[in-house]
Amino acid sequence: MINLRDKQILVTGGAGFLGRQVVQQLLIAGARKDNITIPRSQNCDLRVLENCQKAVFGQDIVIHLAAHVGGIGLNREKPAELFYDNLMMGTQLIQAAYQAGVEKFVCLGTICAYPKFTPVPFKEAELWNGYPEETNAPYGIAKKVLLVQLQSYRQQYGFNGIYLLPVNLYGPEDNFDPRSSHVIPALICKVYEAQQKGETKIPVWGDGSATREFLYSTDAARAIVMATQFYDEPEPVNLGTNFEVSIRELVEMICEVMEFKGEIIWETDKPNGQPRRCLDTTLAQEKFGFVAQMEFKQGLKNTVDWYRQQAR
């Protein structure tokens, strides 16, 4: 176990949706606020090696959350940017951390790294058994390369880097920008705008058959901090709930929570994305005792309530 009290901790993406929750969980776990450093993209572009070197200097632990990420729309529009930005940020930060003698590197991967047709529930051992779903592949592969880098640095240099694979996250303070948001905030926005305009229909991409799994941001942050303290092995670890829900069911739940009675127009000419997503979460429980706590419908309600307050 790592005692966080006297550790200098760098949290990339620490001012973001998940990052703020991770910082809060670090404090709960005993870290000192003054010992946590959060680089900001406007003055610390992690695609530049020199910035990575400055950021990791004097740090004991690096938790790498920063990412250029979005939903299906952004993945289709900017695959090259998503590949390059995520690869360069991660690979240079790992190299800089190794050179600086950082004690531990915690890297957040993505469920998009899994093959398009992975047996459900996804087991970590299946990660290399096929090509990712096409729309997410550039992002997913860029993040998966970082796993190879951490494993090879561990093998050759004894560098302690771990790799975590979260499912889609959701919760208050998520990204609700319709141009780049993931499915839950995008749907909440659509329903809210329809209600504001008095509309009785909303369009939704795909046919509703695809399934997803969602992890509440506070649960995800708690898992990351638990792994930081207790997990020191080369194998990647899934972070999720093992609860699978179809997009059709998700839309119905959001409409119910938001009391929207209108019609759903399924845009079947638009992509569904990966057919199914649901993780085997056994390893996280066995290795560092993580079990998700937030009930899904309550998490949706919390997210909707937060968005409505911000939208006023």
Q: Using one digit for the tens of pLDDT, what is the confidence trace for 170-225? A: 999 998 987 778 899 999 999 999 999 999 999 999 999 999 999 999 999 999 99
DSSP strands (E only) in the chain = 9-12, 36-37, 61-64, 104-108, 161-166, 168-170, 201-205, 211-212, 214-216, 237-239, 245-246, 263-267
Q: What is the pLDDT of residue 97?
A: 98
Strands 211-212 and 245-246: what pairing?
A: antiparallel
Count CB atoms within 10 A of the CB of residue 268: 12
**Is residue 312 pLDDT above 80, yes or no?**
no
138 SS3 class = helix
DSSP 16: S
Residue 168 assigned to a binding site: yes
CA neighbours closer than 13 Å in the CB half-sphere of residue 171: 18
pLDDT digits (tens, 9 = 90+) for 257-266: 999 999 999 9
Residue 75 assigned to a binding site: no
Provide the mean pLDDT of the chain.
95
DSSP 279: B
Asked if 245 and 214 touch (Cβ cutoff 8 Å), the reply is: yes
**Rounded to the nearest 5°, which phi and psi values hold at 7?**
-85, 140
Residue 167 assigned to a binding site: yes
Cα–Cα distance list, 261 to 184, 194, 258 (Å): 18, 11, 9
Confidence band, pLDDT 50/70/90 cuts, at residue 65: very high
Burial (CB < 10 A; 0-12, 13-18, 19+), residue 272, is middle
Close Cβ partners of 185 (under 8 Å, ≥ 6 residues apart) = 170, 174, 175, 176, 303, 307
d(CA 48, CA 81): 15
| Pair of tokens at residue 172 | 């208050």
Residue 296 assigned to a binding site: no
Q: What is the pLDDT of residue 69?
A: 81
Q: What is the pLDDT of residue 17?
A: 93
Percentage of the chain beyond pLDDT 90 is 89
Residue 19 assigned to a binding site: yes
CA neighbours closer than 13 Å in the CB half-sphere of residue 158: 2
95 SS3 class = helix
Asked if 247 and 200 touch (Cβ cutoff 8 Å), the reply is: no
Confidence band, pLDDT 50/70/90 cuts, at residue 74: confident
Its pTM stands at 0.94
Residue 190 assigned to a binding site: yes
To the nearest 10°, report the CA torsion of 23, 27, 32, 34: 30
Q: How many helices (H) and strands (E) does the chain have?
A: 10, 12
Q: What is the pLDDT of residue 73?
A: 80
| Residue tagged active-site, from 98, 139, 192, 216 | 139
Region of poorest pLDDT, from 100-104, 173-177, 241-245: 173-177
Confidence band, pLDDT 50/70/90 cuts, at residue 75: confident
d(CA 93, CA 206): 37
139 catalytic per annotation: yes
| Pair of tokens at residue 63 | 């938790």
Residue 17 assigned to a binding site: yes
Residue 105 assigned to a binding site: no
Cα–Cα distance list, 130 to 79, 177, 273 (Å): 19, 32, 16
Q: What is the pLDDT of residue 46?
A: 97
Q: What is the pLDDT of residue 89?
A: 98
Dihedral sign computed on CA atoms, order 216, 140, 184, 126:
negative
What residue ranges define each of the domains in the chain, with the CATH number in brackets?
9-170+214-243+276-293 (3.40.50.720)
